[in-house]
Amino acid sequence: MSAVSAHPTVSVVIPLYNAQDVIWETIHTVLKQTWKDYEIVVVDDGSHDDSGHIIKDFGERVRYVRQENGGVAKARNRGFAESKGEYIALLDHDDLWDPAKIEKQIAVLDTRPEVGMVISSVVHIDQDGKRLGGVDSPYKPDHEFATLFVKNYQPTPSAAMIRRTVLQQVGGFDERFHSAGLDDHEFWTRIADVTEIANIDEPLTFHRNRETKPREIALRHRGLLIDILMKRYGHDARKRRYLLRQKAEYLADMGKYAVGQGDFQQGRGYFLAGLGISLLVSWNAKALWRCLSRLVRSYI
């Protein structure tokens, strides 16, 4: 890629923070793409290592923007604002792509105007780039809302390519939710509200596994997201019923966690709350049984 087009088809937006050990490889995974009409926009979110110097070595091939530290949601939104492409491809600073990733996703968006976002299957890798397990391809495009929430599933950002028109419609990532770790998940649900999402069932994205959240924090974030979505979709009977199911299962999981930590009283409280919700949506026999069985076991 010798020169960047004034009106590229694709903008690759990379939020960057203290990634001097991996950012060179990530940039090169874009430079090796078979599709060449793109721009790379890197937003440095206040790094204090040598990441910025590494980026500058790429010269005009990469547009480098630096801002004060504000979190990945703010960095992505800045990248969106700085970008010019018809399509936006997200890429985290330590993830990698198959060389045909951009080309194959553009083929979907160009031939299916009803699709506003396309994602690929994902291979998880460790810090050394070694493959971990199989291919992650759980997305079911015929059940957008449910799939984006069930079992806390969310697309890996680096697997996504989005039409700019859709991005303008939903307004980017909500930076208020960054501290709670909900900005990605909340963003995907808004996209699912306004457009179809397509999945390329090929492992075109390689996601480097990072440190995971402690179990309790992950559970509480899940509960907070349910509450956020309940406020948004409370008027929609189908979605409200679905979210109540998720709330019941969340409370059952919180009860199980509390009992596992030795707090039987708190655990029973969660189980009873989940049981009450399950009775409101009595067709949800699975969640009802989970609450009952865990409540009984907590007394044993």
Banded model confidence at residue 246, pLDDT cuts 50, 70, 90: confident
The answer to whether 64 and 44 are in contact (CB under 8 A) is yes
201 and 267 share one domain: no
186 and 247 share one domain: no
**The pLDDT of residue 110:** 97
Q: Which of 208, 240, 263 is the last residue of a domain?
A: 208
Q: Is the pLDDT of residue 254 over 70?
A: yes
Full domain range(s) for residue 49: 10-208
CATH number, position 94: 3.90.550.10
- What is the pTM for the complete model shown? 0.81
Both tokens of 34, joined, read 């078979």
Residue pLDDT, tens place only, 216-227? 777 887 888 888
179 and 294 share one domain: no
Of the candidate ranges 50-54, 134-138, 271-275, the one whose mean pLDDT is the lowest: 134-138
Q: Which helix (H) or strand (E) holds 253?
A: helix 237-260
**Cα 160 to chain centroid, rounded:** 9
**The pLDDT of residue 245:** 83
55 and 150 share one domain: yes
125 and 49 share one domain: yes
Banded model confidence at residue 228, pLDDT cuts 50, 70, 90: confident
Banded model confidence at residue 272, pLDDT cuts 50, 70, 90: confident
**The pLDDT of residue 126:** 87
Residue 5 lies in a domain: no
Residue 156 lies in a domain: yes
Supply the DSSP string of 150-162, one letter for each residue: GGG----GGGEEE
Based on the number of CB atoms within 10 Å of its own CB, is 29 exposed (0-12), middle (13-18) or buried (19 or more)? buried
The answer to whether 186 and 228 are in contact (CB under 8 A) is yes
Residue 229 lies in a domain: yes
Q: Which of 151, 175, 208 is the last residue of a domain?
A: 208
Residues 299 and 220: their CA atoms lie apart, in Å, by: 24
Q: Which of 208, 223, 256 is the last residue of a domain?
A: 208
Q: How many domains does the chain have?
A: 2
17 and 152 share one domain: yes
Q: Which helix (H) or strand (E) holds 272?
A: helix 264-280
Three-state SS for 3?
coil
Average of per-residue pLDDT across 244-268: 87
23 and 76 share one domain: yes
Residues 212 and 197: their CA atoms lie apart, in Å, by: 27
Residue 3 lies in a domain: no
User: Phi and psi for 130 in degrees, rounded to 5?
Assistant: -85, 140
Both tokens of 61, joined, read 């091939």
188 and 270 share one domain: no
**The pLDDT of residue 224:** 83
